[in-house]
Amino acid sequence: MSSDVPRIECVGVTKRFYHYEHRTTTLQEFVFRQLAGKPLHVRTPTFHLEGFDLTVRTGESVALVGANGSGKSTALRLIAGIYPPTTGSIVTRGRLVAVIELGTTFQPELTGIENVELYAAALGMRRREVQASLSSILDFAGVDEFAEVPLKYYSSGMRSRLAFSIALGSDPEILLLDEVLAVGDVSFRAKCYDRLAAYAANGGTMVVVSHDMDSLPMLCTRAVWLEGGRSRLDGSVDAVVQAYLQSVTSSS
């Protein structure tokens, strides 16, 4: 794909959620409220994203930074296609893999291999591709000897490593990472950074949400600072991280 075609294009994206004072969550109440002519919900809208624009080109690695509630994770889920936008348009081009919560899709009763097959299928890998990269995935996660062991006997570190390894092994063209970089021990983390650097060097596109300001410059070249659901600053990772940290320290 030519590098001037954006991999990710968000234009005027708004995402509305609700604060519920009252929420109808049972069929029984639904019926009673309908009969009594009462509204089903009493709620006020809150906007997690408001007029959010983002264009990411092939080979770019973009960090999303900002305070809790600034809309980073919401933005990532919208780009991933998990939530629909309330208004605005989102177009992604190419195989997209989003790692939102590490290992939550794993099944404790199934073995390592069976979980690899399931999670890889959920990320959009074909069966042939999974079989071809199975050993490299297990090897990268360092769980080769536990391949046939049910996942409930894995340590949490092993589970996270396996999940991360599958996501990286699924050969994405766009990789979205949400707060998942604090994985495993020091040596595994170093392996991950190497792998992500190689991915980026080979033209991979990446959007990373992280609070770890020290490591972001190692992964990303560009950063977007989100505040109140909008991008406040978009520029080189060093400049944006510095500006963001300055505003945090000056306001506290």
Partner 1 sequence: MVSSPATARSFARQEGGAGLRDSVWGARELLVALVARNLRMRYQRSALGFLWVLLNPVLTTLIMVGVFRYVLHIPVDQYWGFLISGYFAWIFIVHSVTESAGTIREHSYMARTLAFPADVLVISTLMSRILEFVLEIILVASLLAVFRHGGVPAAFALLPLAVALLVGMALALAYPIAAASVFFKDVEFALPVGFTLLGYLSPVFYPLALVPEAWRDLYSLNPMVGLLGIFHAILYDGRVPPFSLFAISAVEVTILLVIGRQLFRWKRSLFAEIV
DSSP 39: -
**Stretch in the footprint of partner 1 (CB under 8 A) among 64-72, 73-81, 184-192, 244-252:** 73-81
Q: Is 39 in the site for partner 1 (CB under 8 A)?
A: no
Q: For residue 204, report the phi and psi dihedrals to the nearest 5 degrees.
A: -70, 150
Residue 86, exposed/middle/buried by CB under 10 A (0-12, 13-18, 19+)?
middle
The DSSP bridge pattern shows strands 61-65 and 42-57 to be unpaired
Find, among 20, 19, 14, the residue nearest to 48 by Cα: 14
| Residue in 56, 63, 125, 181 binding partner 1, rule: CB under 8 A | 125
Among 94, 157, 228, 235, the residue binding partner 1 under the rule CB under 8 A is 94
Choices 101-109, 139-147, 208-216, 234-242 (CB under 8 A): range interacting with partner 1: 101-109
**Shortest distance, CB of residue 184 to partner 1, whole angstroms?**
19
Answer for the pair 223, 77: CB distance below 8 angstroms, yes or no: no
Q: How far apart are CA 60 and CA 182, in angstroms?
A: 22
CB of 14 to partner 1, least distance (A): 8
Rule CB under 8 A: which residues touch partner 1?
1, 14, 17, 25-28, 30, 45, 77-78, 80-96, 98, 100-101, 104-105, 107, 109-110, 114, 117-118, 121-127, 173
